Amino acid sequence: MTSQAKRVNAKPSLKIGIVGGGFSGVALAATLCRLADQPVMIHLFEKTGCFAAGEAYGTPFPFHLLNVRAKDMSAFEEDPLHFLHWLTANQAAQAMLDPDISPSEQFVPRVLYHHYLQDVLAEISGAAQATITLVLESAEVIDIERTSHAAILTLADQRQIQVNQVVLALGNHAPSAFPFPVSPQVQTIPNSWDYTALSAIPKTATVLIVGTGLSMVDAVLTLHHQQHQGLVYAVSRHGLLPLPHTEGCVPFDLTALPTPSDLLAFSRFVRTQSQLHMKAGGDWRSVVSALRWHLPALWQQASVTSKKRFLRHLLSYWNIHRHRIHAKLAALLSHLRAIKQLKIMSGRVKRVVNRTVEIQLRHAHDSLHMEVDWLVNCMGPPLKLSAMQQPLVQALLQRGLATPDDLEMGFAVSAVGALKSREGDVSDWLYTLGPPVKGTFWECSAVPDIRKQSLQLARHLCRHE
Ligand SMILES: Cc1cc2nc3c(=O)[nH]c(=O)nc-3n(C[C@H](O)[C@H](O)[C@H](O)COP(=O)(O)OP(=O)(O)OC[C@H]3O[C@@H](n4cnc5c(N)ncnc54)[C@H](O)[C@@H]3O)c2cc1C
């Protein structure tokens, strides 16, 4: 399906292909629309046909909440209250808010954010200036080639589209397959971001969720809301759960302090400053929220060895402090644990034979054996580019137009997100943003990070810098 949003009279000199219609693709298109002072044609490609959703905002369930407060969720770096204004002006959205809490402080349903992004996309079509033509393409891009004068995108339906700049907004990839054998007697849900798949689980089934992060919280919520009565186990290497947000934290002021110079010093700094801030009546959350903005600079300077050390020893701890959940969700998890419907374990699943799962518990010699009916994969996106079974990613790597970063987590890129080729040349036509730059900047995939990248990249593409 192709939808012509708007036609311009002047022939566009800039034709941009944006691959991926999730938050990154929509935010970039909308930012380009605000900045463009020459005719621009944007082709926005989305393989699912559902624009403005992606993995995060594609959930149909109102109990799946944003994990960032509404005041920080604007799609535009230079218009930080844009989402809040949308929220307060939108009557249907109002009905989903808590009347006792200021809208700016609320963690609103993610499905509302999908509606917001749809409106952002519609705004491009309705924009007053006649500089932008937006073409929505419900198609998967499977290959990109460069000729002497253009970039040619090949779609899964074999059509070819010619542009002069390409941005990969590919987002998070589905979790890898379970890294252990699973017998056919146990039913599996290979990707918990397939939100409605959990409805197939009978109420009395015993469920094992692999992973104990934010996706696990989503899955437990879904089961709870479909009146699940059976036991639910969740297992991960450390068995750590995301920590809750709190209200009204005293802000942490970093300006007077010398910021840490390497990753080891960073983790010590977080600990000591948190302790000092808490002694002064503050909360560690303010320290983590302030310091996380320093991580991209530190990450880029750090050696591969120290980044790998961080990932090996600190990743699980950083994740639970950094990616927090609403306090009422944390309270629900505690309640389900207290009534023994939910059990969290730390260990490694070794195999599933018949209906018996064998788990090597952390710090224990013996394995645990237990019977389950269903397995749910909440392992999160793979941390290796090579594990992404995306035809486009494989094609770009094979052509040498892209190369993995030092950690092989995503694409090697320049500061503005230009891809580096296999030979190390920085592209002047192929860019990316969002999760694919994780290996280079680490903190890059939440809305406040992506909208910064969108502005920087839009300025670059419009040659404003
Ligand atoms: C479950 C979940 C909840 C989250 N909640 C929050 C939150 O509350 N607040 C926050 O700030 N961040 C949150 N995040 C972080 C999230 O990564 C970002 O907010 C943002 O959604 C990332 O957007 P994206 O467009 O880069 O990726 P995605 O949302 O994954 O979108 C990428 C899109 O590209 C499409 N695509 C991929 N390859 C191709 C191709 N070859 N051709 C065509 N289309 C293609 C995909 O179908 C997909 O729709 C959450 C993430 C997840 C996974």
Pocket of ligand 1 (CB under 6 A): 19-25, 45-48, 54-56, 66-68, 140-141, 169-172, 392, 434-435, 445-447
7 has pLDDT over 70: no
Report the distance separating Cα 395 and Cα 25, nearest Å: 20
Tokens representing 395? 């094609």
The mean pLDDT value for 205-214 works out to 97
Using most ligand atoms within 8 A of CB, pick from 116, 445, 449, 454 the residue to mutate for ligand 1: 445
What average pLDDT does the chain have? 92
What is the maximal distance between C-alpha atoms in the chain? 73
Q: What is the reported pTM?
A: 0.94
Is 366 part of a structural domain of the chain?
yes
232-241: per-residue pLDDT in tens?
999 999 999 9
Pinpoint the alpha helices (H) of 339-446.
391-399, 438-441
Domain count, the chain: 3
Please spell the DSSP secondary structure of 33-99, one letter per residue: HHH--S-EEEEEE-TTS-TTTHHHH----TTSB-SS-GGG--S-TT-TTHHHHHHHH-HHHHTTS-T
232-236/207-210 β-pairing? parallel
DSSP code at position 203? T
Domain range holding 287?
263-322
Rounded to the nearest angstrom, the distance between the alpha carbon of 53 and the centre of ligand 1 is 7
Is 256 part of a structural domain of the chain?
no
pLDDT level of residue 4 (50, 70, 90 thresholds): very low
pLDDT level of residue 128 (50, 70, 90 thresholds): low
**In the listed set 294, 322, 350, which residue is the last one of a domain according to the structure?**
322
Is 64 part of a structural domain of the chain?
yes
Using most ligand atoms within 8 A of CB, pick from 42, 44, 47 the residue to mutate for ligand 1: 47
The CA-atom distances, in angstroms, between 96 and each of 93, 112, 385 are 5, 8, 38
- Residue of higher predicted confidence among 176 and 143: 143
109 and 220, same domain (yes or no): no
- Predicted local distance difference test score (pLDDT) of residue 122: 93
Report the distance separating Cα 75 and Cα 88, nearest Å: 16
Is 388 part of a structural domain of the chain?
yes
Instruction: Average the pLDDT over each of 67-81, 279-293, 439-453 and give the range with the smallest value.
Output: 279-293
The CA-atom distances, in angstroms, between 141 and each of 46, 121, 172, 422 are 8, 20, 16, 21
Quote the percentage of the chain above a pLDDT of 90.
78
9 has pLDDT over 70: no
Using most ligand atoms within 8 A of CB, pick from 18, 23, 293, 325 the residue to mutate for ligand 1: 23
370 and 449, same domain (yes or no): no
Determine phi and psi for 132, rounding to 5 degrees.
-110, 135
Rounded to the nearest angstrom, the distance between the alpha carbon of 364 and the centre of ligand 1 is 37
76 and 218, same domain (yes or no): no
- Predicted local distance difference test score (pLDDT) of residue 127: 67
The mean pLDDT value for 39-57 works out to 96
316-350: per-residue pLDDT in tens?
999 999 999 999 999 999 999 999 999 999 999 99
Read off the CATH number of the domain in which 83 is found: 3.50.50.60
The CA-atom distances, in angstroms, between 321 and each of 69, 110, 303, 315 are 16, 21, 24, 10
The residue type of 83 is F
**In the listed set 377, 394, 415, which residue is the last one of a domain according to the structure?**
377
